[in-house]
Structure 1
């Protein structure tokens, strides 16, 4: 009895201390995650742990019905909080199994007011029923993003920086990664592919339900689903990682032959970047011309016309380390994704094709106009993220390789994704780590190549074995 009384007092005392130490008065969570380029994307006040999504979709009518179950934790005391959702009609919301009030604001804010406020640190669930005809988000540079339709009647999801909000409610920021579970029901004649590992197919209720699970924490824009009359190719890596690739009708044999080299590509990238950080692999090969291919986690999605090329497959799978496992802190840091995936193509050419990268670098520098040098690799502004990171980015990394030396550069490439696995990072984080490995300040180099504009001074443009 004495022990029980002491324990009771300790618990009560602890509760009072926590309450006075930060539970605070419940307030609405912020309607944005604070990115300077897209300040209204994402939301504050909570962290999502898992999305569990059940979707029914009719390709003939384009009608989608969804039931979303979100597991999350409050990071502040919440009187209300937001999710992001473009279009679609919300039918009901429950928080911790109790009916919750909800409203829509702006072009994508779903504002939820639970019947009881949530205290800081509390785990909670959100159940959302919704329906409608999904529509893409138009991007002036990349065209349509998110849910898109194929000429043959299927559908797929691809887009960056926005995508997921077009088909399910989400905290749409790379800062809030979560596991992703999907049960997607379509008429029997259609197939479905998504992120992660296959968990089975089940017939009934007028269709077939295809179950996929991505257990590696994933940023929302990297989630995908694609509906078509696929031809599937299933293999396993030597380490047991399942490889599932899907080819739409009409995809040429060249794409299938290129994807057949995926185990070799992953082995090569693993030799450069460390152990493969994702729980599955493969690819989604469309027979549609879209403005890009995309590194959707574990299963990149490829546009027709680009899918049969090894460099594109190398690029998108390099992102599984640089961009997917280690995601950006803010969109101004996108060079940490694209500069490295683009340089992976150079590394492949060097190792597999015998290309002299110093010669390739010298030729590119010689031909580069003033406009090229003024293109920014950091702080490029919203809408300009996906430009010079593909061309100037690999030049910067090759110069860095020569500036700090081969040994230090290789060590950084391989250990950075391991140290930051499943997290987020900024360009400043990468600079500090590279300086730590190189045992020297790299301020001049990063100012010349990354943060500034204009042609770098010769000491940074032609370091080491590089010659003017």
Structure 2
């Protein structure tokens, strides 16, 4: 995200999912019980759920722009991680009309702000693959965030709609396990009147005409965190192309998008080539961008296809959001207190782009910003900053911390860390302390003091860590 101003390691996750899909059943234990109604994040304890691991969402939606009515059927394919008497999904508002689990009618209730509690006709055994089919409808409403404004399903002045928001978004338009810790593939079929276009994550899978209009199908085969899913409905101008390796690129521009914005997005292949040189091979199955007319309060790294505020279609924002495809999307946070792994790195990517593309001296940029920094600036934390404070200092203090780290461990070690970390944790989750440990191993340095002052602390670093290596201030 850029603002306008695991339970297991990836290989273990893959093994667990494949095991569940293969055996189709599980090992019985003593007492079946309900899955937890939260995923355990300290900042948002009721978001997400426990007791199961989702492999795929297969969502079918009909949407009428004239009435804002949405009718959906969600099919969740998952594996039970315990013997389940019941389990929860997250859904904000909207009306559930029926639920089936493994094709059998299931009971359901609604509790709290967004809990959908499902009781299958038959207990689910640990390790068992299951499907949950939820039919629902209504007029979606956004969630208001005091810092970022509307999150989730939002309406365009043109009469269209789009879904974007962080840390919450998906629950406003489909039932989901709303936690970064449960990635899944995502299939979407959206039917709208013929004059409307649809864009979403992943690859286009074609369109078909129906009595209700045109059905547009999209498929995201890269496992995705729920808030990074999106759909956008408008009278788009589509630009389609390919990267050099054949990766499909789809850009969608809302009516009235400026020529300057289109020219900036035309440089996406160059941007991705540059980011790949720093972060390793592009880790997603598609690319592109969604350029809104609405001047919402943020742009967002929706997987494979970032969504841009109507006032942010510029090259620096394009670099930032696409850097997230490595740092934030492919490698997602384990908990929201780790959000520096997303935003510090995407923000520093714009520094690296300026160094590469504009020959900017980053040491001078660093010294200038340090000289201007206030006590309030240094008080901002980059780790465990508290709920509601995630999207603040990570954009400003974060790049400084990474540039200081670059000088602390040296160019070779820093470059190796940047490039190999996303591959090490691809399609998984990670924590900032894990990144610290990895940087220490690669550099051969004990970095505890550095991370204590820059990432875990809330005061100005001492000269030892503020000006490491050749960053010593010029006199």
Q: Deviations over 1:139-174 (max 9, x none)?
A: 000000000001110000000000000000000000
- Which residue is 2:147 aligned to? 141
Unaligned stretches of 5+ residues in structure 1:
1-14
Which structure has the higher relative contact order (CA within 8 Å, separation 6+)? 2
Alignment of 1:50-199 (within 5 A): 50-199=56-205
Out of 446, 450, 457, which is 1:452 matched to?
Answer: 457
CA distance in 1, matches of 2:30, 2:238: 53
CA distance in 2, matches of 1:124, 1:94: 10
Out of 307, 322, 329, which is 1:324 matched to?
Answer: 329
Deviation at 1:206, TM superposition (A): 2.2
Deviation at 1:132, TM superposition (A): 0.3
Deviation at 1:23, TM superposition (A): 2.5
Deviation at 1:204, TM superposition (A): 1.2
Deviation at 1:25, TM superposition (A): 1.1
Out of 387, 391, 405, which is 1:400 matched to?
Answer: 405
SS at match of 1:118: coil
Q: Name which one, 1 or 2, has greater alpha-carbon Rg.
A: 1
Is 1:294 the counterpart of 2:300 in the alignment?
A: yes
Out of 49, 54, 57, which is 1:48 matched to?
Answer: 54
- Which residue is 2:380 aligned to? 375
Q: TM-score, normalised by structure 2?
A: 0.94
Deviation at 1:463, TM superposition (A): 0.3
CA distance in 2, matches of 1:131, 1:108: 15
Unaligned stretches of 5+ residues in structure 2:
1-22
Alignment of 1:338-357 (within 5 A): 338-357=343-362
- Deviating above 3 A after TM superposition, structure 1's stretches of 4 or more consecutive aligned residues are none
Out of 259, 266, 271, which is 1:265 matched to?
Answer: 271
Give me the CA root mean square deviation: 0.9
- Which residue is 1:229 aligned to? 235
- Which residue is 1:303 aligned to? 309
- Which residue is 1:466 aligned to? 471
- Which residue is 2:13 aligned to? none
CA distance in 1, matches of 2:54, 2:84: 14
Q: Deviations over 1:53-111 (max 9, x none)?
A: 00000000000000111100000000000000000000000000000000000010000
Is 1:211 the counterpart of 2:206 in the alignment?
A: no
CA distance in 2, matches of 1:277, 1:312: 19
CA distance in 2, matches of 1:206, 1:174: 35
- Which residue is 2:19 aligned to? none
- Which residue is 1:427 aligned to? 432
CA distance in 1, matches of 2:438, 2:40: 25
Deviation at 1:440, TM superposition (A): 1.6
CA distance in 2, matches of 1:422, 1:159: 21
Deviation at 1:261, TM superposition (A): 0.1
